[in-house]
């Protein structure tokens, strides 16, 4: 069997819809960060067990803490954000394989997202992959030296948990049902770009985190002219244009995100170069 863990923080909007899609799981846990809206009420009404998390500014962060302290009933865990839920295809795939999971040598499974942006699900273009189905005893989120970086929050950054065993891939998708206004997407990615720029100032830290990303993520981390090349890849090569205006807007938005990282990194380099020496 599989436990489902949903991470929340003041996310009552859409949470009920997410939890309704998780009835196939025999153990449903909501790990909340002391929300002051109706998040806990909605979670408990859906039959979920609510566990409260308060970040102390150190490791473990929220995902690893949830695996260690929410006491999931099963050794396999599907880890979800509050605006994510498994597609019907993924639920059926998990039901089919759950009885064989105890015997598998795999430590984790990667799952592609079906992303909602600007009110439309994107079936083409760039696809985000997350290592979301985890064996609790054979996967660990890494502790990287980024706690002083700007933009850091209570949830782990853009890297994957380290698996002590083979990593498989599922065919069903996790639906990323982001119904927030596009302005919130830009606000989040403004913070993320602060973090990414900080990484680029520390070659060893950047290398360490890059090694914990997917192969696709490692390639994207190193390519030159990333904004232009990413737009070409996402919108043309991967067929983002087939998603209409939303596909164009998403490709532009992510290209702009990579541009932001570059601008902020160059600014940090200039600030470092012009700082007075201690000698």
pTM, entire model: 0.89
- Inter-residue long-range contacts of 225-231, CB under 8 Å, 24+ positions, other chains counted: 226/258, 226/259, 226/262, 227/255, 227/256, 227/258, 227/259, 227/262, 228/255, 230/126, 230/254, 230/255, 230/258, 231/255
The more confidently predicted of residues 81 and 277 is 81
Check residue 123 and give its pLDDT. Answer: 96
- Measuring CA to CA, which residue among 58, 52, 72, 60 is closest to residue 7? 52
The predicted-structure confidence for 178-231, as pLDDT tens digits, reads as follows 888 999 999 999 999 998 898 888 777 777 766 666 666 666 667 778 899 999
Closest to 90 in 3D by CA, of 170, 12, 207, 29? 170
Distance, in Å, from the CA atom of 27 to the CA atom of 24, rounded to the nearest integer, reads 9
Write down the mean pLDDT value for the chain: 91
Q: What is the per-residue pLDDT for 216? A: 65
pLDDT at 177 over 70: yes
Is the confidence at residue 141, as pLDDT, over 90? yes
The CATH architecture that domain 2-274 belongs to is Alpha-Beta Complex (3.90)
- Residue-wise pLDDT tens digits, 87-131: 999 999 999 998 899 899 999 999 999 999 999 999 999 999 999
Q: Is 159:180 a contact under the CB 8 Å cutoff?
A: no
Domain residue extents for the chain: 2-274
Lowest-pLDDT choice from 16-20, 159-163, 274-278: 274-278
């Amino acid at each position: 069997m599989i436990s489902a863990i949903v991470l929340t923080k003041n996310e009552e909007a859409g949470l009920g819809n997410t939890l309704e899609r998780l009835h196939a799981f025999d153990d449903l846990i909501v790990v909340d960060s002391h929300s002051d809206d109706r998040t806990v009420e909605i979670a408990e009404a859906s039959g979920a067990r609510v566990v409260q998390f308060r970040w102390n500014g150190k490791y473990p962060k929220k995902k690893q803490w949830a695996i260690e302290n929410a006491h999931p009933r099963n050794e396999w865990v599907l880890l979800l954000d509050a605006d994510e839920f498994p597609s019907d295809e993924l639920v059926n795939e998990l039901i089919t394989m759950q009885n064989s999971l105890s015997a598998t040598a795999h430590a984790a499974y990667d799952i592609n997202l079906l992303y909602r942006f600007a009110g439309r699900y994107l079936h083409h273009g760039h696809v985000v992959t997350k290592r979301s189905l985890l064996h609790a005893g054979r996967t660990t989120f890494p502790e990287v030296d980024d706690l002083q970086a700007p933009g850091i929050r209570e949830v782990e950054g853009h890297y994957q948990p380290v698996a002590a065993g083979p990593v498989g891939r599922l065919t069903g998708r996790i639906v990323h049902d982001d119904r927030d206004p596009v302005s919130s997407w830009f606000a989040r990615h403004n913070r993320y770009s602060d973090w990414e720029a900080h990484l680029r100032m520390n070659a060893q830290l950047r290398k360490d985190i890059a090694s914990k990303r997917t192969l696709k993520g490692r390639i994207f981390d190193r390519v030159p002219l990333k904004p232009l090349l990413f737009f070409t890849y996402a919108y043309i090569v991967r067929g983002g244009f087939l998603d209409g205006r939303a596909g164009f807007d998403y490709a532009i938005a992510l290209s702009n995100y990579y541009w932001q990282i570059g601008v902020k990194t160059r600014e940090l380099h200039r600030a470092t170069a012009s700082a007075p020496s201690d000698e």
